[in-house]
Structures are given as C-alpha cells and as structure tokens.
C-alpha cells in the first residue's frame, strides 16, 4: 500500500505506519499472530480487513524509516521509492526449513500425494512420541 499508484491509498497506509510506530511494544515476548476476518465484499485490497479492529504493529520492512521520513512521504505528492534490501531479511524460519527437509525426504521415499502426506504425518507423530531432552544433564548415558 505504501507504493500504491493512488496518493490517497499511500497516505492512508503511511498514516497507519506512523500510528503503529507510536504504539509502545509490550515486553520482549513473541507476539501472537491473530489473523483478522476477511471482508469478502471488499472492492479494494485495502478494504479486505477492518482496520479499526486490527491491532497495528509496525511493519518490519519499514522499521528503518524514522517518523520524520514517514511524515515527509505523507506530505509528498510523488510515489516513494523505498531502498530496502530484501536480501538482508530472512524469508524462512527454522521451522519452515525443517518442513522443507521433511517434504523433500517424503518425496524421495514415496510416490503420490496421499502416501507423501501419510509419510509426513507418521514422521511427525513418531517424533512427537519420542522423549525430549532440553539439557545435557537429562541425557542418561549407559555405562
């Protein structure tokens, strides 16, 4: 929305970003992701969710922009060009990489979507039934 061709949409989003930057971050905990309800009657992409009910969180891609820079972008008529290097932002979490590895294993061992799904579910079930050791002292070394 920040680089939309329509000026009123850009200003709307930049005001939301500015508003979200002013909201203090509570604690250092991981935020719970609450997926908002989708408005299937929307005519524009920015109407897909009810912004008045949505909890505003500053977008990570725009974290480097200061409030003054955002205010300048709001007052500017020109479409902004944001110099954000996406290569510096990780696109996969460790959990996603684990899933990619598991799907790759399943694809090489079985044929067909049903069998692959069964292999993945069986592997996950087996792993969850195994004991979990959080520290070295919990490992029992047979002597």
pLDDT, tens only, 126-143: 988 877 767 777 767 776
Q: What is the pLDDT of residues 52-65, one digit of tens each?
A: 888 777 787 787 78
pTM for the model: 0.53
Domain contains 52: yes
Contacts 24+ apart (CB under 8 A), 49-54: 51/16
**pLDDT-based confidence at residue 36 (cuts at 50, 70, 90):** confident
As a whole number of angstroms, the distance between CA 15 and CA 31 comes to 22
80 and 100, same domain (yes or no): no
Residue with tokens 């060009």: 81
15 and 55, same domain (yes or no): yes
Domain contains 79: yes
Residues of the domain holding 18: 7-24+35-84
71 and 98, same domain (yes or no): no
56 and 74, same domain (yes or no): yes
* pLDDT higher than 80, residue 25: no
How many domains would you assign to the chain? Answer: 2
Mean pLDDT of 53-82: 80
67 and 119, same domain (yes or no): no
12 and 56, same domain (yes or no): yes
Give me the helix-helix angle, 113-129 and 94-109, nearest 10°. 130
């Amino acid at each position: 929305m920040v680089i939309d061709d329509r000026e009123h949409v850009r200003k709307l989003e930049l005001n939301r970003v500015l508003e979200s930057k002013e909201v203090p971050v509570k604690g250092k905990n991981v935020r719970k992701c609450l997926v908002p309800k989708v408005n299937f009657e929307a005519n524009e992409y920015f109407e897909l969710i009810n912004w008045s009910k949505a909890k505003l969180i500053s977008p990570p891609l725009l974290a480097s922009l200061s409030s003054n820079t955002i205010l300048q972008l709001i007052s500017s008529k020109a479409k902004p060009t944001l110099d954000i290097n996406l290569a510096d932002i990780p696109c996969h979490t460790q959990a996603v990489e684990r899933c990619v590895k598991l799907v790759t294993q399943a694809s090489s061992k079985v044929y067909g979507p049903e069998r692959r799904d069964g292999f993945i579910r069986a592997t996950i079930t087996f792993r969850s039934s195994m004991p979990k050791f959080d520290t070295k002292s919990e490992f029992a070394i047979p002597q």
